[in-house]
Amino acid sequence: MKIGVFDSGLGGLVVTKAFIMAMPEYDYVYYGDTEHLPYGEKTSGQILSYTIEAMKFLISQKCGLIIIACNTATSIALRYLQQRFIPAYAPDVKVLGVVIPTVEEALADNAVRVGVLATNATIRSHIYREELLKIKPDLEIKEVAAPELVPAIESNDFTAAEQLCAKYAKEFSDIDSLILGCTHYPLLKNYFRHILPSSIRVISQDELMGAKLKDYLERHIEIDIALSRRAEHKFLVSSLNEHYRKVAEMMFEKIDIEAVEK
């Protein structure tokens, strides 16, 4: 049984890299649904149906533990998957998301005013607000949707992406912690840290997910012992372009990335 990692695109590679760096010995299958990007601009019905297809695919690849690295898919689909789809389709498979670990991290440091930057669909779901308030009901939260950021990153336009970061940063002058609530945003974390006041803690999922998964496996020995450890790392996407390949090659020393045959 392997570890599956799902995202809509490039961002998931950042999280997969964090897992591999923390635990290189496990077998991973990363799947990016690049054909349907950006998820953040899709309807909830579309996001749910793409995510179900991705789960079926990763299960067919022998993944027994699947991490939905995509915040948008986590926001819209995780609850349904955990409560309805997985128990009926593949009851032995475990599916986790990124929102709860990120919320735990954000609240680990006495946060009082938290900002959340995410896609339209994630902000529309208010999942971060809901989960943050469950733990700390008096927290002040500012949610901002950044619909243009993912398309700028996916089209390799980092000049536009940095201008957008500057625009969004202005919305967060009065917070103490900023959640980068999209797996694509770690690619811009240094820029956010550079333009925001140094008193604002920027929470970037690439820096927390490795430790969170490790901790999860230590607490769930029954899952951990079923995971294969041949250090096989497989990278698959639904549609491959040159830019994607280049960014992937910049991120990993050696990477074979393939488009899935349909």
Site residues (CB under 6 A) for ligand DGL? 7-9, 11, 37-40, 70-72, 119, 122, 150, 182-184
Nearer to ligand DGL, 57 or 227 (CB): 57
Comparing CB distances to ligand DGL, the nearer of 17 and 227 is 17
Q: Shortest approach of ligand DGL to residue 7 CB, angstroms?
A: 5
The distance of closest approach from Cβ of residue 199 to ligand DGL in the complex, given in angstroms and rounded to an integer, is 26
Q: Output the DSSP codes for the chain.
A: -EEEEEESSTHHHHHHHHHHHH-TTS-EEEEE-GGG--GGGS-HHHHHHHHHHHHHHHHHTTEEEEEE--HHHHHHHHHHIIIIIHHHH-TT-EEE-SHHHHHHHHGGG--SEEEEEE-HHHHHHTHHHHHHHHH-TT-EEEEEE-TTHHHHHHTT-HHHHHHHHHHHHGGGTT-SEEEE-STTGGGGHHHHHHHS-TTSEEE-GGGTHHHHHHHHHHH-HHHHTTS--S--EEEEESS--HHHHHHHHHHSSS--EEEPP-
Q: Are 58 and 31 contacting, i.e. CB atoms less than 8 angstroms apart?
A: yes
| Closest separation in Å from C-beta 55 to ligand DGL | 16
- Cβ proximity to ligand DGL: between 114 and 182 the closer is 182
**Among this protein's residues, is 165 annotated catalytic?**
no
- Token pair, residue 184, equals 């694509």
**In the complex, least distance from residue 214 CB atom to ligand DGL, rounded to whole angstroms:** 21
Set 182, 213, 237, 240: catalytic member? 182
Which of 10, 67, 68, 70 does the annotation list as catalytic?
Answer: 70
Compare residues 31 and 227 and give the one whose CB is closer to ligand DGL: 31
Cβ 110 to ligand DGL shortest distance, Å: 26
Active site (annotated) includes residue 182: yes
Indicate the residue among 42 and 227 with the shorter CB distance to ligand DGL: 42
**Residues with catalytic annotation?**
70, 182
